[in-house]
């Protein structure tokens, strides 16, 4: 019996015949219908990330259980709301993600999604390969005591200007850590061969955090592919996890809809209450004199975003940020003609509080950007591995151009 119980406890959650729907409410009345459905049904919002953001004419993507689909369907029909089924069987798409064959079983690959153990081994390998250029810094540990590793790329000088980049703040956005790994690999490999990369690394450092939310990432591999938050426990609640991108000290408490521990966007009991957030905040603050830009990578929706997230007020250097975002998205589209839109978070997607982007900007880092990588919803968080390389290649172009601009205009 004990063995059976253990086997049951570790079986990952399945999503057989669950669906992802896309709805565009035509007016506030229809927007309210979806908000009401969220009250009575367990809906997993993919875009926007919580129902309170929903307004008229907004694209809304959400996952619905096999059981709940019929009642949702009839409620939408009753309200004359057109809907599209983006994913007919979520489990099928989860299984189909791994569509790139392995060169060698169990080996790290840039064309595949790598689990945490492979990523840790890869960080060691990168240092071993290029000790002159790559060093690994443990900036802290997670709730479950996993290490938080930053890879520093560039020559040894601490005082050189730097860009801080992080990936995987939300566990289920797997293409994000894939990009951070790709970036480290390409930067070190093309040094001395590619003109722009050589110039960048000769004159600045990159701090790269390949997986911000390590515990959540592990959980998304082993237990629940759709997990978003970290894995911290909360007193007086059986619900687990805090949304690390609502936990930064930037207008932290301004959104009342993030204050319930069972929500996917739960902000935590206090700003920087989470070990992961605190470790990143401390590291950036201790390197503030050198860090000139902050870039964070998410998925999905193909956007390049900048502050503010918590207010529709425009940042003082708005024109400059627009210019850089335009350069970045234009560079990105040259490879495969992938179209990105750009703008401040609050007006381009929806207002959010406690984000790492606003926090870094308010700290004095005047070039802060968030990429929402591929795609636009066909696969959403379940982007197949065959899309990793193209996503990384085009994003690399954008990052290089942004870095080049920063290098040129750095004070």
Q: What is the CATH number of the domain that holds 84?
A: 3.30.70.340
Asked whether residue 320 is domain-assigned, the answer is yes
Asked whether residue 13 is domain-assigned, the answer is no
* Residues 358 and 298 grouped into a single domain: yes
- Alpha-carbon span 207 to 164, nearest angstrom: 5
Cβ distance 305 to 344 under 8 Å? yes
Asked whether residue 10 is domain-assigned, the answer is no
* Residues 90 and 123 grouped into a single domain: no
Closest listed residue to residue 406, CA positions, set 130, 158, 196, 104: 196
Q: Supply the range of the domain harboring residue 33.
A: 19-97
Asked whether residue 103 is domain-assigned, the answer is no
* Residues 61 and 142 grouped into a single domain: no
* Residues 209 and 329 grouped into a single domain: yes
* Residues 143 and 81 grouped into a single domain: no
* Residues 58 and 141 grouped into a single domain: no
pLDDT (0 to 100) of residue 196: 94
Closest listed residue to residue 182, CA positions, set 122, 124, 139, 135: 122
* Residues 83 and 172 grouped into a single domain: no
In CATH, what number is assigned to the domain containing residue 315?
3.40.630.10
Residues of the chain with pLDDT under 50: 1, 3-8
pLDDT (0 to 100) of residue 359: 98
- What are the structure tokens assigned to 354, written together? 């406690």
Strand order from edge to edge, sheet including 44-47: 44-47, 60-64, 19-23, 83-87
pLDDT (0 to 100) of residue 179: 98
Helices (H), 313-355: 318-336, 345-348
Active site (annotated) includes residue 372: yes
Beta strands in 213-301 (DSSP E): 291-299
- What are the structure tokens assigned to 148, written together? 């938080």
pLDDT (0 to 100) of residue 7: 46
pLDDT (0 to 100) of residue 9: 59
CA dist 179 → 56, 176, 186, 395, 409 (Å): 33, 5, 10, 8, 26
Asked whether residue 81 is domain-assigned, the answer is yes
Residue in the structure block whose two tokens are 């219908």: 33
Helix (H) or strand (E) holding 179: helix 175-190
* Residues 86 and 147 grouped into a single domain: no
Query: What is the domain count for the chain?
Result: 2
Q: Please tell me which residue in 274, 276, 372, 385 is annotated as part of the active site.
A: 372
Among candidate residues 42, 64, 97, the one where a domain is terminated:
97
318-345, pLDDT tens digit by residue?
A: 999 999 999 999 999 999 999 999 999 9
Asked whether residue 9 is domain-assigned, the answer is no
* Residues 87 and 140 grouped into a single domain: no
Cβ distance 272 to 263 under 8 Å? no
Asked whether residue 12 is domain-assigned, the answer is no
* Residues 53 and 161 grouped into a single domain: no
pTM over 0.75: yes
Asked whether residue 361 is domain-assigned, the answer is yes
* Residues 120 and 85 grouped into a single domain: no
């Amino acid at each position: 019996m004990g063995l059976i119980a253990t086997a049951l406890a570790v079986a990952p959650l399945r999503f057989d015949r669950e669906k992802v729907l896309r709805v565009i409410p035509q007016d506030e009345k229809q927007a309210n219908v979806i908000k009401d459905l969220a009250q009575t049904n367990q809906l997993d919002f993919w875009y926007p990330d919580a129902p309170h953001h929903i307004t008229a004419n907004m694209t809304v993507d959400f996952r619905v259980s096999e059981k709940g689909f019929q009642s949702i369907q009839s409620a939408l029909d009753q309200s004359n709301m057109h809907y599209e089924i983006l994913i007919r069987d979520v489990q099928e798409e989860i299984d189909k993600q791994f569509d790139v064959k392995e060169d060698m079983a169990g080996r790290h690959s840039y064309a595949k999604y790598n689990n945490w153990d492979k990523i840790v081994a890869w960080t060691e390998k990168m240092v071993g390969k290029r000790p002159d250029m790559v060093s690994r810094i443990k900036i802290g540990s997670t709730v479950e005591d996993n290490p938080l590793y930053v890879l520093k790329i560039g020559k040894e000088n601490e005082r050189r200007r730097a860009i801080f980049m992080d990936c995987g703040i939300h566990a289920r956005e797997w293409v994000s850590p894939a990009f951070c790994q790709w970036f480290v690999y390409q930067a070190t490999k093309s040094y001395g061969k590619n003109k722009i990369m050589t110039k960048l690394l000769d004159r600045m450092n990159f701090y790269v955090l390949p997986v911000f939310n390590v515990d959540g990432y592990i959980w998304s591999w082993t237990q629940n592919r759709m997990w978003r938050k970290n894995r911290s426990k909360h007193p007086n609640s059986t619900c687990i996890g805090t949304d690390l991108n609502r936990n930064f000290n930037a207008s932290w408490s301004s959104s009342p809809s993030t204050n319930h521990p069972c929500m996917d966007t739960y902000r935590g009991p206090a700003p920087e209450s989470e070990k992961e957030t605190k470790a990143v905040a401390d590291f950036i603050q201790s390197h503030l004199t050198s860090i000139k830009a902050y870039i964070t990578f998410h998925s999905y929706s193909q956007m390049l975003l900048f502050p503010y997230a918590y207010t529709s007020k425009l940042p003082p250097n708005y024109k400059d940020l627009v210019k850089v975002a335009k350069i970045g998205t234009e560079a990105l589209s040259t490879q495969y003609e992938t179209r990105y839109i750009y703008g401040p978070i609050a007006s381009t997607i929806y207002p959010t509080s406690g984000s790492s982007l606003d926090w870094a900007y308010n700290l004095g880092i005047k070039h802060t950007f968030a990429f929402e990588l591929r795609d636009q919803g066909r696969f959403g968080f379940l982007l197949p591995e065959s899309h990793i390389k193209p996503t990384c290649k085009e994003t690399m172009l954008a990052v290089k151009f942004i870095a080049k601009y920063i290098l040129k205009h750095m004070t």
